[in-house]
Structure 1
Amino acid sequence: MKKLIILIICIFQIDQTVLSAQCFEDRHSTNWFDGWVSCSVSASPNPALKSGHWILYDLTALYKISSLRIWNTNDPQHLDWGTSKLHISYSEDSIIWKNVGDITLEKASGSNTYEGSDWIPLDIPKAKYILLTSKESFGGSCHGIAEVNFQAEKVKINTASKDELSIPKPLSLVLTPNPFSQLLRLNIQDAIPGNYILNVHNSIGDLVDFRKVSVQSGEESLEVDARSWPAGSYVFTLTNDKMQVRIVGIKMTPQ
């Protein structure tokens, strides 16, 4: 039996980072800070969209998404910050993007009984990342939304492949911070001691960083200077002759 999951994502700070917050079932508060607001454009993770007002959701796993529901900015003093035209993109790896298209949203009521939009049908077969771009507001200088729900089914994946490099389960890479804007730290954890190669590629496959890494005790920490990198998504790949692991990082425009 297929099981549908409702992913409830509440956003509460002026940032491109999605965090968890308290949700009210079907209703939304009238606080302007209880949501996402963008007052300046930044380069989009989707190269086809260039710069704009956007927010990126990392669902942490692959989902088939059948519909979404949106609550617009509901502060009575800033209803014009609400999004009237929203573009939806999705990706499995934050590198290759597919576009769903634009949807039109209604302005919020400014009341604490505001219940958002009806469920909007979507056909997203497999996505880990959802990119929402506000193309038009209701005349305000900022763009925002308050809350998003996705109706989704988790995708089962067979990861076994004889053609792929063997990836030991404990080996991992951790980027801090992620998203990043200038300097970042790459932490290699639970690695087999030995020599590794680190490659960093941008969203179109260009190599932006290459270095040899010697891991002595199973853990290593590297500082990476990303100040000269354009905003967008980057793939960090660590390999040796027996194993490989990847992680995706997002470069933000410094505020």
Structure 2
Amino acid sequence: MARNLIVGNWKMNRTASEAPSLVTRLLELVPAQLPVEVVLAPPFTSIPAVAQLLAAANHRLSLGAQNAFWEDRGAYTGEVSVPMLADLGCRYVILGHSERRHLLGEQDEAVNKKVKAVLRHGLFPILCVGETLAERQHGQTEAVIRRQLDAGLDGVAGQELKNLTIAYEPVWAIGTGQAASVEQAAEVHRQIRSVIGAIGGMAAGGAEALRILYGGSVTAHNIGDLLSSREIDGALVGGACLDPEVFAKIINIAAEKS
């Protein structure tokens, strides 16, 4: 099993001039060598500033992006390609986040194209899946997750899946302060492993090695309980990652659990 992964998704927060103080303080609070992998995913405009700090520091933190377009270049006003992100030092790309799906109308077909583009250029996609509160209340969680995985990973199989991370983020838990229980998250994570094993033709051991993160109101108070489950391999952290003191606590607790 790969190391646990903690991803800090800054969303649309922190300008390029604000980013250095956050990252500098975080680097002061976490050990240079960690038994967990940590990724910072700032807005596009702040990526160069964060990349410069990480390159200069003796830390093993990685750089990620919050989205990417599926074409390498062309007349796509406002879009950012995977080669552009790779050139800035990004290793991970978050794709299919529920805010993009539900606020910006991103469809499974577009997410699938982006997953393939990220894999094609040797970066690591973090594919987000999750159900709304209404879908959970109507017993549709498993069907929604299966649909998002089937469509999002169409044409992706075998060795490519080894570079994939899944983030389960129940829409009803994001930014609400109401995180899923460990039992709720673990149940869905087991379903995800089963679906990935089936659609990817992976043996049981391969599906077990897949990293599945939990995202949705992750805090320093619940990260320890979440990582106590063998089904949960890390976290996609939103608001809590904007406070370096809090995010450092999350990282250090995750390190203790590894």
Task: Give the TM-score, by structure 1 length.
Answer: 0.26
Higher Cα radius of gyration: 1
The structure with the greater share of residues assigned to strand is: 1
Higher helix share: 2
